[in-house]
Structure 1
Amino acid sequence: MRDPNHGSWVASLAAGRGNPDGTGMIGVAPEAQLLSVSLGFPGSASTVPFTEQVVDAMKWAVDNGADVINLSFTTNTLDWDESWDEAFLYAFEHDVVVIVAAGNRGSGTSMIGAPATIPGVLTVGGVDQTGVASTGASTQGITIGISAPSESLLGISADGTLRSWDGTSGAAPIVAGAAALVRAAHPDLDAANVINRLIRTAVPVPDMTRTPDPLYGYGLLDAEAAVTASLPVVAGNPMGDLEEWIRVYRRADAPEQPKPEPSSTPVAVPPLPAVEQPAEPGSPLLPTPESLRYGTLPLLALTVPGILIALGVTAAARRIRLERGRRTPTP
């Protein structure tokens, strides 16, 4: 929806204060202070690309003290510009609750698109007056965290007139107003626990097939229970961790780290041992001490006993023959 009154309708649902005479409209958190930021959607007269506008708006809101940021717009793609990584991380690192509209099937958004797909945001789906998921004023998807009314809503136009309108652009600021009430009642809670209170106190819908459900998330918003219920503190954002998502899914796009330059420092090598001086020259026919130690002497040690044994056998055989000759009679 690109009606110029769109922002006024959104703001009045979140924090309308009414008029002193009792006319006008009271929003969910009438005492909340508003920071209004206008975005020029693609196709508008804006000279700044839409993705850059979102980055600048997020950072400006955080720097000016926003505790809750409501984004009542969507895109027709699951992915988002990488510059949004830094912008949404900036909000999360400064403990800001980010509420996002799921989008409307009736306006041509057939599936949930960014920024409703960004981990860590609380995505809001829409229901009709009976509490059933709206067929025209809400999309469906696994990133929906909670549901709120999105049909027959009221809003104050810029000229002060009351207007009836539809869409998750109105469901989101209802939840954003509830988040403001929780932050006011529990100033010690961080953004993760504010979101946890909103979804854990949501009212289950009979049509829900699981929790979270692709149509209803954790159920229908119960602002009073979100403010008053007693819940344990959680350590992390139940809607996901954008920093971890970036670490896992942006790794392939990370610039290659330069390899370290080889060191030019010379390596100290220990000196080689001194060369032994050659022995004095002698005759090649005479044995050297080395040849005697490792060649001649071992050979003699094995050969001489063999020779001695052989000579002893020969001498013994000769004596035996002589003895036999003496005993033999002469014919």
Structure 2
Amino acid sequence: MTKTMRLYALLGIGILPFLGFAQGKKENPANWYNLDLRADGIMGISTEKAYELLKGRKSTPVIVGVLDGGVDYLHEDLKDVMWVNKKEKAGSKSDADGNGYPGDVHGWNFLGNANGENVQFDNLEVTRLIRIYEPKYVSILPSTPLSEAERREFVAYQKMINDYTTKLDEANYGTLNYRNLKKEVDAIVAAIGKDPKAITKADLDKFNATSDRQKMIIRIAKKELEKTSFTKFYEELDGSAKYYANQVEYHLNKDYDSRYIVGDNYEDVSEHFYGNADIKGPDAEHGTHVAGIIGAKRGNKIGIDGVANNVQIMGVRMVPDGDERDKDVANGIRYAVDNGARVINMSFGKGYAYNKKVVDDAVRYAEEKDVLLIHAAGNDGKDNDISKNYPMKYYTDSLDAVLGEASNWITVGATSSRVNDELLASFSNFGYRSVDVFAPGVKIHSTIPESLYKDLDGTSMAAPVVSGLAAVLRSYYPTLTAKEIKNIILKSVTKIDHKVKVNVDGASKKVYLDEISVSGGIVNLYNAILEADKYIQIKK
């Protein structure tokens, strides 16, 4: 989920809200991430230029697993590119193909039960961990005798409490401010007497503000109208209010636990067969947006063109409104691998892990099966070499010592279209060792449910750009391994010979991309095709 300082900054509240990063004032074409720097003056990945190179070449369909919060498989721009399990029938409760997942026509949902009920909200992982450790450590003093293992748990618990308290204070503050702010905006809308979608600058000019706060809101709303519309302003306000309310009610509420809906034995990580075939679920905006970036039908003259032109999208729902659970992540990876995915997109992440080993085992399984995993770096503006972002490419033991690194894993940070010091998205995580590449992730226009389209920001959008690129390579170069595809993607990045802004220890600093990533650049499909051609020649 993305966050922004824009609306709060405009309103003078001073806290992070939920929707819409505001990096860059100049408008870009809706398909800017597919454009070419030299030809178009925009730092895209040269998709259209790459397809000129590929004209006349044969390709094979590639299945991409979208592990996310749900995919609208009936979207006008996705329905023709969805993976179809031809052995299964929609709505069937029988398991025709014997894979353990009855009726999985377009994928599987690990956040539901056989009766069709679905989890929508869940806690953050830190909340779930505190719920486990609190009974044991809440009364413990630093001087209390503990075993070495208990001491490690106690220190970790103290860190969790500090993190949790900070998040809860912010959520309570945000809820209070947004609730009051929305009440005032609703009062203004009611006084104008129009649907928010119909409100114009003239309506705001005529409105007689009765307080300084109303005057400020009108002033800000007018500025928003100059950029977009009152509707956009209202939607961001409403979304931010809901975001903080959900934080307090669900994400950070230690008394809330929705796992009973699934009905599995959550502690049994060997349990794989639970859930239902509803891959859309109650809120599929994020996953549908991700799916469109990867492979929205190209050339159909509707909506957008995804990156990949011969792709099948497999929906795997396992991310709630809250933090995903490690058991579901592992099962999502295994399901996608076992059902033919060659690339898996994972636009999710969290700061804590409950059972990292079960995820590591699933990543190893994907590695053995030659499946490429693409993961979003995260949207906290932090150094992932220091601040953990799970899941990750490193295999670790029970003491968190690194045992190895997955050869089939790419972690993706986000960039904007600007070839200047604001190239790095202000929200993007980075890391000299832990983040492999960067890709477009600001104001990305893509599909959302009910055949609609929307701009969203985040490393969640950058990862599917790379997944689409990887799908193209696997489609046109089917003999290349996941490790070779990864090497090609990293080797073919566009490198920028100037510094970008990054936040380090609370202060702005300028660095080169090769100081904050493995590859030191932004992915480029055209360059990747040229590099893949070299690989093929060497292998002959």
Task: Give TM-score scaled by structure 2 length.
Answer: 0.39
Q: Report Cα offsets for 1:238-262 as digits up to 9, x if no partner.
A: xxxxxxxxxxxxxxxxxxxxxxxxx
Note the C-alpha offset of 1:43.
4.6
| Deviation of the 1:224 alpha carbon | 1.2
Alignment CA distance shift 1:139-1:80 (3 Å)? farther
Q: Does the Cα contact within 8 Å between 1:58 and 1:88 map onto a contact in 2?
A: yes
Match for 1:151 among 436, 442, 463? Answer: 442
Does residue 92 of the first structure (1) align with residue 367 of the second (2)? yes
Distance 2:322 2:417 in 1: 34
**Would the aligned equivalents of 1:15 and 1:29 in 2 still touch at CA under 8 Å?**
yes
Corresponding residue to 2:376 among 98, 101, 111: 101
Residue 116 to residue 206, structure 1, CA distance change in 2 (3 Å):
farther
Q: How far apart, CA to CA, are the structure 1 residues paired with 2:284 and 2:294?
A: 18
User: Which residue matches 1:60?
Assistant: 335
Q: How does 1:158-197 map to 2 (within 5 A)?
A: 158-197=449-488
Pair 40,72 (structure 1): closer, same or farther in 2 beyond 3 Å: closer
SS of aligned partner of 2:454: strand
Say whether 1:125 aligns with 2:413: yes
Q: CA deviation at 1:64?
A: 0.4
Distance 2:369 2:349 in 1: 23
Aligned with 1:35: secondary structure? Answer: strand
The residue number in structure 1 matching 2:346 is 71
Q: CA separation in 1, counterparts of 2:440 and 2:295?
A: 16
Q: How does 1:281-300 map to 2 (within 5 A)?
A: none
Q: Which of 199, 224, 228 in structure 1 is aligned with 2:526? A: 224
Which structure 2 residue ranges, 5 or more long, are not aligned? 2-68, 70-282, 395-404, 500-510
Counterpart amino acid of residue 128 in structure 1 = S
Letter in 1 for 2:288: S
Higher relative contact order (CA 8 A, sep 6+): 2
State how 1:160-309 maps to structure 2 within 5 Å.
160-207=451-498, 212-215=514-517, 217-229=519-531, 230-232=533-535
% identity of equivalent residues: 28
Asked whether the 8 Å contact 1:14–1:174 carries over to 2, the reply is yes
Matched residue type, 2:336: A
Match of 1:15 among 292, 295, 304: 295
Higher gyration radius (CA): 1
Q: CA, structure 1 residues 184+213, in 2 after alignment: closer, same or farther (shift >3 Å)?
A: farther
Counterpart in the other structure of 1:115: 391
Task: Tell me which moved more, 123-132 or 52-61.
Answer: 123-132
Q: Distance in 1 between matches of 2:364 and 2:452?
A: 37
**Partner residue in 2 for 1:278:** none
TM-aligned CA deviation for residue 33 of structure 1? 0.7
In the superposition, relative to structure 1, how do residues 218 and 35 fare at CA in structure 2: closer, same or farther (>3 Å)? same
Maintained 8 Å contact 1:200/1:218: no
The 1:156/1:42 distance shift into structure 2, 3 A limit, reads: closer
Q: Report the AA paired with residue 86 of structure 1.
A: D
1:134 Cα shift?
0.9
The separation in 1 between residues aligned to 2:495 and 2:352, in whole angstroms, is 29
- C-alpha change, 1:130 and 1:211, in structure 2 (3 Å) is closer
What CA deviation, in whole Å up to 9, does each residue of 1:210-263 have, x standing for no partner? 785325743111111112224458xxxxxxxxxxxxxxxxxxxxxxxxxxxxxx
After superposition, give the CA deviation of every residue in 1:110-151 in whole Å (9 maximum; x if it has no partner): 945022343321001111111411112x11112111110110
Q: What code does the residue aligned with 1:126 have?
A: A
- Name structure 1 gaps, 5 residues minimum: 234-331
Residue 175 of structure 1, CA deviation = 0.4
The CA distance in 2 between the partners of 1:80 and 1:145, in whole Å, is 24
Q: Give the AA of the match of 1:187.
A: P
Residue 32 of structure 1 and its aligned partner are, at CA, apart by 0.4
- Distance in structure 1 (CA, Å) of the matches to 2:331 and 2:321: 16
DSSP-derived class of the 1:37 partner: strand
Match runs of 1:17-56 below 5 Å: 17=297, 20=300, 22-41=301-320, 43=322, 50-56=325-331
Closer, same or farther in 2 for the Cα pair 1:13/1:220, shift >3 Å? Answer: same
Instruction: State the SS of the aligned residue for 1:126.
Output: strand
Q: Tell me which residue corresponds to 2:429.
A: 139
Offset at residue 190 of structure 1 (A) = 0.6
* Matching residue's letter, 1:7: G
Paired letter, 1:53: D
CA distance in 1, matches of 2:521, 2:367: 24
Displacement after TM superposition at 1:4 (Å): 3.3
Would the aligned equivalents of 2:412 and 2:439 in 1 still touch at CA under 8 Å? Answer: yes
Contact 2:310 2:472 in 1 (8 A): no
- Structure 2 CA distance, aligned partners of 1:187 and 1:218? 27
Give the 3 Å change call, closer, same or farther, for CA 26–169 of structure 1 in structure 2: same
Count of residue correspondences? 227
Q: CA RMSD in A?
A: 2.8
How far 1:76 moved relative to its partner? 1.2
**Residues 493, 519 of structure 2: 8 Å contact kept:** no
CA distance in 2, matches of 1:80, 1:133: 32
Task: Tell me: CA distance 1:11–1:43, structure 2 relative to 1, closer, same or farther (3 Å).
Answer: closer
- 1:19 and 1:228, CA in 2 relative to 1: closer, same or farther beyond 3 A? closer
